[in-house]
Amino acid sequence: MTTFENFRAEAEPPEYSVGRRMIGLARRSGTATIGLAVVVVFGVVALIAPLIIPYDPVAIFTDRLLQPPSATHWFGTDGNGMDVFSRVLYAARYAFGVAVPAVTISVLIGVPLGLLTGYRGGMFDEVTVRFMDSLRVFPLIVLALAVVAATGQSLLNVILIIGILDSPVFVRLVRAEVLQLRSSTFVEAAVATGNPVRRILFVHLLLNSTKGAMAQVAVRAAWAVRIMATLAFFGVGIEAPTPEWGSMIRQGAEYMATGQWWVGVFPGVALILLVLGFNMMGDGLQDLFDPRRRAEKR
């Protein structure tokens, strides 16, 4: 092979089948696999929720307010007479329904922006980086709360704002990778052989710099689910009686002191599990893709 073809080969990922890659993944990171399994379970529940839940999540049973867990209502009923189990399961749809678009927005904004600034450099880079760095002085939770409260509370707003506020992470990540790769030999070679700039960016850089970003996707998804629940807990963004874990905890908080713990604890546990699942996925993937860590097996 010519030198050039060697470089090209280096740039393309090896062609293993999906199955083999999965097994490789599982072997190399138990954490990521467990995390993935949890997320998949929740995802499946979210998809088929309307089919498997015993009751309509907003159906009111006026004669059964605040019942403890029983055979007819596995997680009990809440203060309005709604079945907690059905609501907890159905709320998974909102979790994914917000997290997936929000993270997608973050990626769609962050990755291209990171590529551009990393590659272009110069004034544009300076300004963008400074701008993003400046945003870091605001705690994300407070910022999200303040902005959603100010701009009016709709689900769409919530998704957009979470998506936008989380994009700097991707910008930084991709940019860092790009800066590293920019000076690597294969890019120089690509340039030298006359590849157009756009091709360089989107073929070579994209493939190589986004591995780290992929691991972040899971972590950002965890954050998105968490932030949405926090917003709902403070009464921002989600309307009653929508089943959403954060707003269920909000109602449950008042009942915790009178001993009706099930209203708040079950949605809380579900929330923790899903967020943990995403975090484990992210952690495992980060471990895999960080070359320094990989070289570390002692």
Least distance from C-beta 92 to other proteins, angstroms?
15
Measured from the CB atom, the residue of 198 and 297 that comes closer to other proteins is 297
3-state secondary structure of 83: strand
Q: Is 196 in the site for other proteins (CB under 8 A)?
A: no
Alpha helices in the chain (DSSP H): 3-11, 18-28, 30-52, 84-120, 122-135, 140-151, 155-182, 185-192, 197-199, 206-233, 245-256, 262-289, 291-294
Q: Is 214 in the site for other proteins (CB under 8 A)?
A: no
Least distance from C-beta 54 to other proteins, angstroms?
18
Measured from the CB atom, the residue of 19 and 259 that comes closer to other proteins is 259
Per-residue CA distances from 26 to 23, 31, 156, 188, 211 (Å): 5, 8, 36, 35, 17
User: What token pair was written down for 251?
Assistant: 């109602």
Q: Which of 131, 185, 192, 207 binds other proteins (CB under 8 A)?
A: 131
User: What token pair was written down for 31?
Assistant: 């954490």
- Of 217, 193, 219, residue with least CA distance to 204: 193
Query: In this structure, are residues 227 and 141 in contact, taking their beta carbons and an 8 Å threshold?
Result: yes
Least distance from C-beta 11 to other proteins, angstroms?
27
Least distance from C-beta 139 to other proteins, angstroms?
3
Query: In this structure, are residues 99 and 228 in contact, taking their beta carbons and an 8 Å threshold?
Result: yes
Q: Is 145 in the site for other proteins (CB under 8 A)?
A: yes
Least distance from C-beta 278 to other proteins, angstroms?
8
Q: Which of 151, 180, 185, 193 binds other proteins (CB under 8 A)?
A: 151
- By CB under 8 A, what part of segment 31-90 binds other proteins? 31, 58-60, 62-63, 65-66, 79-81
Query: In this structure, are residues 160 and 105 in contact, taking their beta carbons and an 8 Å threshold?
Result: yes
Burial of 150 (0-12, 13-18, 19+ CB in 10 A): exposed
Measured from the CB atom, the residue of 45 and 249 that comes closer to other proteins is 249
Q: What's 173's DSSP letter? A: H
Can you name the residues that pair with 83 across neighbouring β-strands?
77
Q: By rule CB under 8 A, what count of residues binds other proteins?
A: 68
Least distance from C-beta 286 to other proteins, angstroms?
10
Q: Is the peptide bond before 241 cis (omega within 30 degrees of 0)?
A: yes
Q: Which of 150, 194, 198, 291 binds other proteins (CB under 8 A)?
A: 150
- By CB under 8 A, what part of segment 218-257 binds other proteins? 222, 226, 229-230, 233-236, 239-241, 246, 249, 252-257
Query: In this structure, are residues 130 and 184 in contact, taking their beta carbons and an 8 Å threshold?
Result: no
Question: Please, what's the b/e burial string for 287-296 (b: 16 or more CB within 10 A of its CB; e: otherwise)?
Answer: bbeeeeeeee
Question: Binding segment for other proteins among 41-49, 183-191, 202-210, 262-270 (CB under 8 A)?
Answer: 262-270
Q: Is 123 in the site for other proteins (CB under 8 A)?
A: no
Q: Which residues bind other proteins (CB under 8 A)?
A: 31, 58-60, 62-63, 65-66, 79-81, 130-131, 134, 136-143, 145-147, 149-153, 222, 226, 229-230, 233-236, 239-241, 246, 249, 252-259, 261, 264-265, 268, 271-272, 275-276, 279-280, 283, 292-293, 295-298
